[in-house]
Amino acid sequence: MAQLQRIAIAPAQFQQDQILLTPQQLHYLGRVLRLREGDRFIAMDGMGKWWLTQLTGKQAQVLETLSVTTELPITITLMIALPKGSGFDEVVRCCTEIGVTCIAPVISDRTLLHPSPQKLERWRRIAAEAAEQSERAFVPTILEPVAFREALSTVNGHKYICEARGNYPHLLNCLPNKGQMTNDSELIIATGPEGGWTETEIANAIASGFQAVSLGRRVLRAITAPIVALSLVTAACEV
Amino acid sequence: MAQLQRIAIAPAQFQQDQILLTPQQLHYLGRVLRLREGDRFIAMDGMGKWWLTQLTGKQAQVLETLSVTTELPITITLMIALPKGSGFDEVVRCCTEIGVTCIAPVISDRTLLHPSPQKLERWRRIAAEAAEQSERAFVPTILEPVAFREALSTVNGHKYICEARGNYPHLLNCLPNKGQMTNDSELIIATGPEGGWTETEIANAIASGFQAVSLGRRVLRAITAPIVALSLVTAACEV
């Protein structure tokens, strides 16, 4: 199955046993992937469903519904202070591969970048590509950036804020053990901007039920910290 | 201490209580960091020693030897099949931050890139910069690329080869527990190129005492896999 090409479709494109393909998808399948009439590929709706399909005119005929085993049993949200430059692209790509469910970019006191709406579309495209490449069944949701203070009040679950300075316990020692996690468990991990969170931001997060944690004794860049944190969380869920 | 600028020096530059600075270092300190006569900064010899120093003419006067607590208690070698493009720069940067001791690039059957000697210098510069930025006491060693088969016979310790396909146990379940690790313990983690290791390479590694392991159920890029693996190893050493 691994050799078949995969594309992400919108749930609304699936109608009975047919998937109506958009002109962009037809172009991609035909011109980029070089598929021809009758060739098979995998369509994923980004909501956990995969279908084995066959290219038939401008549609994909569904041959089989596939079972996927590549998704984590829980929901993981990365709340990330937007880093400067194009570093966020790499965070979206890596964290999608690693298994994140939702990425919630936030504007913190030390955030330098205030992204344009075009950026959001770009991040969503990167997430869809990375989900395909890593054989995931879900495309992670990327939310619109909001102020950190506002984001704090919108999340529920096991909440952690990562901070390089200060004597906090290691994230890996603070995660709920497997017996405490169920299919609807939610984990929220917040990572800071260049220069770290301000003291007020840490205090606000703790007041909102977040636990302050460390990712180890070295100081990680704003781009590396979320990748390290997600690596630990997903491994802890799978072992 | 965190606010002081840090620079990496060669051990030979340290003579009695003075550090003889190179013209490049003097330029960096004066023109880039804007330090003036009498200003203090940290010099690191990349071998575990940090000194608090003061800029004095073309030398740095050592004021104090610092104790560093940012290094891991064990030696971690990343044996990595060179990925294509400039992805290796990011691997060197991230893995240095995370805490790697040595990076051994290898040429595998599916390696596309055969790097020039200039690349090695570039990677060493990136490692030195990242070690400074992450407040490490050691600059990781970057070895010259060699054939994978040759590299297999040169390493000793707890050896793991990561592979996305196949039903291998998770790396996090295979690491020695803390009681089994001592200050001279060595961990070697091998990660593959785009397209993965060949079956022969996996078999050769296992014959050389490597244990084949998984990094989770999703397929990681050649660039993401070493970052995830190192995140798990360093966290397991610190918790």
Interchain contact, B228 vs A231, CB within 8 Å: yes
CA B150, B154, B155: angle at the middle one, nearest 5?
125
Instruction: Dump pLDDT digits (tens) for A84-99.
Output: 888 999 999 999 999 9
Q: Which of B139, B231, B233, B237 to mutate to probe the A interface, most A CBs <10 Å?
A: B231
Q: Quick check: A226 pLDDT over 90?
A: yes
The CA distance from A215 to A81, in Å, is 16
Q: Quick check: B2 pLDDT over 60?
A: no
Query: What pLDDT sits at residue B1?
Result: 35
Is the Cα torsion angle B171, B173, B178, B181 positive or negative in sign? Answer: negative
Instruction: Dump pLDDT digits (tens) for A51-80.
Output: 999 999 999 999 999 887 888 878 899 999
* Average predicted confidence (pLDDT) for chain B: 90
Is the Cα torsion angle A31, A37, A42, A46 positive or negative in sign? Answer: positive
Min distance A173 CA to chain B CA atoms (Å): 7
Give percent of chain B above pLDDT 70. Answer: 97
Query: What pLDDT sits at residue A1?
Result: 35
Q: Quick check: B194 pLDDT over 70?
A: yes
Q: Which residues of A touch B98 (CB under 8 A)?
A: 216, 218, 220, 224, 228
Give the ipTM of the model, two decimals please: 0.81
Min distance A233 CA to chain B CA atoms (Å): 10
Give residue A28's pLDDT band: very low, low, confident or very high (50, 70, 90).
confident
Closest to B221 (Cβ–Cβ): which among A97, A165, A232? Answer: A97
Question: Which DSSP helix (H) or strand (E) runs through A186?
Answer: strand A186-191
What is the set of domains in chain A, with CATH numbers? 6-66 (2.40.240.20), 75-238 (3.40.1280.10)
Interchain contact, A217 vs B69, CB within 8 Å: yes
Using the 8-state DSSP alphabet, how is residue A48 labeled? S
Give residue A163's pLDDT band: very low, low, confident or very high (50, 70, 90).
very high
Give residue A47's pLDDT band: very low, low, confident or very high (50, 70, 90).
confident
Average pLDDT over residues A132-142: 89
CB atoms within 10 A of CB B83: 24
Query: What pLDDT sits at residue B184?
Result: 63
Q: List b or e across B31-57, with b for residues whose CB sees 16 or more CB atoms inside 10 angstroms.
A: eeeebeeebebbbbbbeebbbbbbbee
Q: Which residues of A touch B219 (CB under 8 A)?
A: 2, 70, 97, 133-135
Average pLDDT over residues B34-59: 89
Which residue of chain B comes nearest to A72, CA vs CA?
Answer: B217
